[in-house]
Chains A and B, each alone.
Chain A
Amino acid sequence: MSLLPIKTVDRLDRPSAYYAGKNKRRRDDRDIEREEETNKRLEGATTLYVGNLSFYTTEEQIHELFSKCGEIKRLVMGLDRFNKTPCGFCFVEYYTHQDALDCLKYVGGTKLDERIIRADLDTGFEEGRQYGRGKSGGQVRDEYREEYDPGRGGYGRAYDEQRQREDEEYGQGR
């Protein structure tokens, strides 16, 4: 809409470093190519990945907030691979690219259910992507988290197991 190429201030509606940094070990020409390729795939994207949700946040709550940027075409909750319960992320699909960009600008980084949520442009939902990829079924980040997060199942699961094991062993040692 605006004739201005933006130069004096950064934009918030760019894809995050996540896509660019995906699978990247050493920066070489192929990486740059790949980066351009993903950026191309995100052109016209209407889907957002939304992260850092509480496990208790409902579809309705997400709908209420995200529809402020435009009508929502589809909402896919991220689920624990084994329990099929929400595991803290979702995909929000709009009808237009502009709505998705506006959402990055206006909603990403604000609070939902009293947590700061993260929104990222996404190439589009595909069957299977709604499940957590962590070892125990949830998101990977919830495996090793050392802080207690009541909205996301307490301690990281792997971390928690280790803690409990240590506790037990400590008891046995006595």
Chain B
Amino acid sequence: MADYERRNNGYRGGGGGRKRRYRDDDDYDRRPQRRKYEEPLFVQVRRQLLTIAESAVRRVEDDIVGIAKSVAEHYEDEELRDTFINISLDLVREQPMKIPFVAAITLVTHNLKPELGAEVLKKAGGLLQKYIDTGAWREVKLLVRFLGCLQAMFEGDGVFPLLEEFFARAVDLQTASSEDLLGLELVKIILFTIPYVMSSPATGFETQASALLDKTDIIASTPHALVDLVNTFSPDENKEAAGPSVISLMQTQLQAEAGRGWELKCLPRPWKSVQESNEDESKPFEVASKIPFPEINVPNPVLHGSHPLFPEVYLSVYADQDINTVPPTSDITSSLLREVLVDTINLLDFNRVATAKYLIDIDCYFTPHTFVKRATTFDRMRDLAGEGQSWKPEDVAVDAVFSQLYQLPTPEHKLVYYHSVLTECCKIAPAAIAPSLGRAIRYLYNNLQTMDLELSNRFLDWFAHHLSNFGFTWKWSEWIDDLELPAVHPRMAFINGALDKEIRLSFAQRIKGTLPEPYIPLITEGKEKDTPEFKYLSESKSSFFTNIASRKSHLTTWKVTPYSKEGQELNQLIRKKAGDDEIQPVIAAIEEQAQDLGVEDPKVPSTDAFVTSICFAGSKSLSHVLSCIERNKERLLAIGPASQAARCQIITSVMEYWTDQPGIAINIIDKLLNYTILSPLSVLEWALSENMAAGTILAKPHIFEMISATVGKVTNRMRQIVTARTQPGIYEPQLSILDETLSRERADMQSLFRFIEDAIVSVAAGSNDEQMERGDGSGDLPEDAIIRQWGRRWLRVFRRKAGVEESFINGALVNATPVGTVAPQQDTPATEDGDVQIEDADNQ
């Protein structure tokens, strides 16, 4: 523990904790006084630079001037010079909120010592060139922004020719293909550079900016074909809530801002205050000696880079409040804040504590009236609403994290990173953040019906995980009315799913204790049992169980417990780790009996008894069940190929045994897939054809989870194969082998997606057989519309997934070595066997 504290507090490299905010201060005061020592100047400057603008108490312009003077006066100190240049550019790339401040330091330094300014630019230019050459477009954007802030330093048009060149490349890319996304990325760089140039001390660039904006309009404002697919809300379900794309929004906002004389009121102008602190207030900041813009070569065509690109959509979880706590999309502040917060979050994933701190400190990095005081309550915001409105910093910060958590198709980092950022924010400023989260949760909950299904499941997962970090406290009372809704209603599905996930992270009794009375029936008796009952043990109970099972499985109805003697025997044998020779006779006995009873497929009851026994014998823990499976692997492996019905029965038995704890069930299914005891297709068949239950199964969050995980396994494997196929240095004969594997697996993957499509499309259309048979067949039951909507939402998720995977494969194969390429020289130690690694993935 002590370890963590130490690590987490050190978010600011290079020691020194002169800050006195939040939890830091307790620690600091108690520490014994150290012997005083003179720290070297470069250490001091390093610290000042790293913490620039972080203090709400110090005047940032004093620090700017202080740093500039130190480095200019000690220009001959090489260590200091290097520290200054390197840290400045590190900050540009890692903490983009500080770019205007770092730029201000550079400007002041340049005026004091032009040689130093030139050196910063030289280094920045070199880095920029490297990032352009490798296609690291976010880093390009940040460095160009830095240069944009320095516009006043340059001769001639400064950064504009480079932006024009980006635009020319974007046009080429867009003309070549309407599906192009790289061009959009370049336009994004242009759009998010302009405001920083216009808020810099440079003057007289209005014409250039407007001219550029006129040009980008056509690209930025034309919606990309994929925008609808990655929208938080499908426009078909909720046209109003479906947000605009980030660049189209920015384009409109910039045009409005141009008409307003580039007010850009949230962006800080620290150079301005530097000037004001001198005597002559009216004098604009002037750069004494101008220098040429670094020479940058933009290759043609530009490179794609390693990041998969998708259009981004602007989402705000505070969109439908009666008063605005975050800037509305009509205000450019919304885009400017969001963009820089999102980069901060994604760049600092290696230290969630630092990320959270910068989010909480967001008001330090923008003009003073951008935000209201921290922890201003929502009700107080109501009083403050109106002219010259300021925004609630916590809401703006939380909004940005959610925009990433709900990024489609996938955010840059694992979802749990964004969970952890919200957790840390809550830890740093609980009183301020918790109410903001509460309102975000309400927005998401209220919009569950029309939200993309993948996202409503992310919401579910985050919600339960978040609560698990804060004692499972939530105001459940406010959703009590919704408990009247039918089980298939998205809200009921959410409540049930959230409680299940909470229990998975804790235990039923604990969760029960956090709930108001009306929720108690949702925590059934079965959920509180560590070991579910073994149906072959008790005769009366088991007939009840099989009756339920027989509705779906191929059993006929039974009056007494069937095969109970054999079931118990199997359980005993599995427990005492008996060999297959002892198990076989019992299985045979069941199948014989079944035959006599006229069961269509005798393998079904024998599989049921066998798998249920494994579940029961292994119920103590995951490792127990895994070792039971491991020991009986051969028999289990033989079931699948022998009978389709028995294959299905494996899943049924697991799901039924763990019916009250579906998390355990789907975990076991997952392991059975790894053992290849089950095939991905058999899992899909089980859910989407055998147990579709008129589409009602689509309302179960754990089924979505299971299907997503299964499909994810297939696509991951596919990606591994693609990576193997496209890695450089692979030659024949491996090349052909890999290519064949790829084609085969790709076809399998496609048929998997086709299966999902075919199974669900009828539910979405309301033409599923079982669905038609329900009620009077009119399809007008109140639940029918809900089920059709589930169908549409499922389709959207898996169609997108299919599209994303196809485009990944196509994109990767563009640059792959063509089949038939022979190694240039025989003695090259070719990367051994191309497919070794993939084989491993199989036996996971």
Chain A residues close to B by CB (< 8 Å): 1, 3-4, 6-14, 16-18, 52, 58-61, 63-65, 68-71, 73, 75, 77, 95, 102, 105-114, 116, 118
Q: Report the bound CA distance from A118 to B419 in whole Å.
A: 17
Chain B residues close to A by CB (< 8 Å): 1, 3-4, 6-8, 10-13, 50, 86-87, 90-91, 93-95, 130-131, 134, 136, 139, 306, 347-354, 413-417, 419-420, 423, 461, 465, 468-469, 471, 501, 504-507, 621-623, 663-664, 667, 844
Interchain CB contact under 8 A, B416 and A69: yes
Chain A residue at minimal CB-CB distance from B469 = A111
**Which of these, A4, A12, A68, contacts B351 with CB under 8 Å?**
A12
20 chain-A/chain-B pairs, Cβ below 8 angstroms = A3-B131, A7-B87, A8-B50, A8-B95, A12-B351, A12-B352, A12-B353, A60-B504, A60-B664, A68-B414, A68-B461, A70-B414, A73-B844, A75-B622, A105-B349, A105-B350, A106-B414, A109-B8, A114-B468, A118-B4
Interchain CB contact under 8 A, B469 and A60: no
Most chain A beta-carbon neighbours within 10 Å: one of B139, B420, B469: B420
Interchain CB contact under 8 A, B348 and A9: yes
Chain B residue at minimal CB-CB distance from A111 = B469
Given contacts A9-B94, A113-B506, contact A58 B12 (CB under 8 A): no
- The interface residues of chain B lying within 8 Å CB-to-CB of A6 are 94, 350
**Which of these, B134, B504, B622, contacts A3 with CB under 8 Å?**
B134
Closest 6 CB pairs of A and B: A68-B416, A7-B90, A11-B350, A9-B354, A64-B504, A59-B621
Interchain CB contact under 8 A, B94 and A12: no
**Which of these, A4, A12, A65, A118, contacts B505 with CB under 8 Å?**
A65
Q: Report the bound CA distance from A87 to B821 in whole Å.
A: 57
Q: Report the bound CA distance from A95 to B837 in whole Å.
A: 12
Question: Would you give the shortest CB distance from B400 to chain A, in whole angstroms?
Answer: 18
Interchain CB contact under 8 A, B13 and A9: yes
Chain A contact residues: helix, strand, loop or mixed = loop
**Which of these, A70, A75, A95, A114, contacts B623 with CB under 8 Å?**
A75
Given contacts A68-B415, A106-B419, contact A8 B94 (CB under 8 A): yes
Interchain CB contact under 8 A, A118 and B667: no
Question: Would you give the shortest CB distance from B414 to chain A, in whole angstroms?
Answer: 6
Most chain A beta-carbon neighbours within 10 Å: one of B349, B350, B423, B507: B350
Chain A residue at minimal CB-CB distance from B139 = A3
Interchain CB contact under 8 A, A110 and B94: no
Chain A residue at minimal CB-CB distance from B94 = A8
**Which of these, B11, B131, B667, B844, contacts A60 with CB under 8 Å?**
B667
- The interface residues of chain B lying within 8 Å CB-to-CB of A110 are 420, 423, 469
Q: Report the bound CA distance from A136 to B414 in whole Å.
A: 40
Question: Would you give the shortest CB distance from B187 to chain A, in whole angstroms?
Answer: 23
- The interface residues of chain B lying within 8 Å CB-to-CB of A102 are 413-414, 416-417
Question: Would you give the shortest CB distance from B423 to chain A, in whole angstroms?
Answer: 6
Chain B residue at minimal CB-CB distance from A14 = B7
- The interface residues of chain B lying within 8 Å CB-to-CB of A7 are 13, 86-87, 90, 94
**Which of these, B1, B352, B504, B622, contacts A118 with CB under 8 Å?**
B1
Q: Report the bound CA distance from A112 to B13 in whole Å.
A: 29
- The interface residues of chain B lying within 8 Å CB-to-CB of A1 are 306
Interchain CB contact under 8 A, B623 and A61: no
Chain A residue at minimal CB-CB distance from B621 = A59
Query: Known contacts A3-B134, A16-B7, A111-B468; can you find 17 more A-B pairs with CB under 8 A?
Result: A7-B87, A8-B94, A9-B11, A9-B348, A18-B3, A60-B667, A64-B504, A68-B415, A68-B419, A71-B844, A73-B844, A95-B844, A106-B417, A112-B468, A114-B468, A114-B471, A118-B4
- The interface residues of chain A lying within 8 Å CB-to-CB of B348 are 9
Q: Report the bound CA distance from A118 to B664 in whole Å.
A: 24
Given contacts A73-B844, A111-B469, A113-B505, contact A59 B50 (CB under 8 A): no
- The interface residues of chain A lying within 8 Å CB-to-CB of B414 are 68-70, 102, 106
- The interface residues of chain B lying within 8 Å CB-to-CB of A107 are 416, 420
Question: Would you give the shortest CB distance from A117 to chain B, in whole angstroms?
Answer: 10
Interchain CB contact under 8 A, A12 and B7: yes
- The interface residues of chain A lying within 8 Å CB-to-CB of B423 are 110
Chain B residue at minimal CB-CB distance from A6 = B350
Question: Would you give the shortest CB distance from A38 to chain B, in whole angstroms?
Answer: 16
Q: Report the bound CA distance from A111 to B413 in whole Å.
A: 20
Most chain B beta-carbon neighbours within 10 Å: one of A7, A68, A77: A7
Q: Report the bound CA distance from A60 to B131 in whole Å.
A: 44
Q: Report the bound CA distance from A116 to B146 in whole Å.
A: 40
Chain B residue at minimal CB-CB distance from A71 = B844
Question: Would you give the shortest CB distance from B65 to chain A, in whole angstroms?
Answer: 22
Question: Would you give the shortest CB distance from B246 to chain A, in whole angstroms?
Answer: 22
**Which of these, B1, B7, B50, B623, contacts A77 with CB under 8 Å?**
B623
- The interface residues of chain A lying within 8 Å CB-to-CB of B504 are 60-61, 64
Chain B residue at minimal CB-CB distance from A4 = B93
Q: Report the bound CA distance from A7 to B46 in whole Å.
A: 11
Question: Would you give the shortest CB distance from A115 to chain B, in whole angstroms?
Answer: 10
Question: Would you give the shortest CB distance from A100 to chain B, in whole angstroms?
Answer: 12
- The interface residues of chain B lying within 8 Å CB-to-CB of A16 are 3, 7
- The interface residues of chain B lying within 8 Å CB-to-CB of A8 are 12-13, 50, 87, 90-91, 94-95
Q: Report the bound CA distance from A21 to B539 in whole Å.
A: 60
Interchain CB contact under 8 A, A105 and B417: yes
Q: Report the bound CA distance from A122 to B844 in whole Å.
A: 21
Given contacts A8-B13, A60-B504, A73-B844, contact A116 B351 (CB under 8 A): no
Question: Would you give the shortest CB distance from B425 to chain A, in whole angstroms?
Answer: 13
Interchain CB contact under 8 A, A64 and B505: yes
Interchain CB contact under 8 A, A10 and B134: no
Q: Report the bound CA distance from A118 to B517 in whole Å.
A: 35
Interchain CB contact under 8 A, A106 and B352: yes
Question: Would you give the shortest CB distance from B210 to chain A, in whole angstroms?
Answer: 34
- The interface residues of chain B lying within 8 Å CB-to-CB of A71 are 844
Interchain CB contact under 8 A, A61 and B94: no
Interchain CB contact under 8 A, B3 and A52: no
Interchain CB contact under 8 A, B139 and A60: no
- The interface residues of chain B lying within 8 Å CB-to-CB of A10 are 7, 10-13, 351, 354
**Which of these, A68, A69, A108, contacts B465 with CB under 8 Å?**
A68
Interchain CB contact under 8 A, A105 and B621: no
Q: Report the bound CA distance from A118 to B5 in whole Å.
A: 11
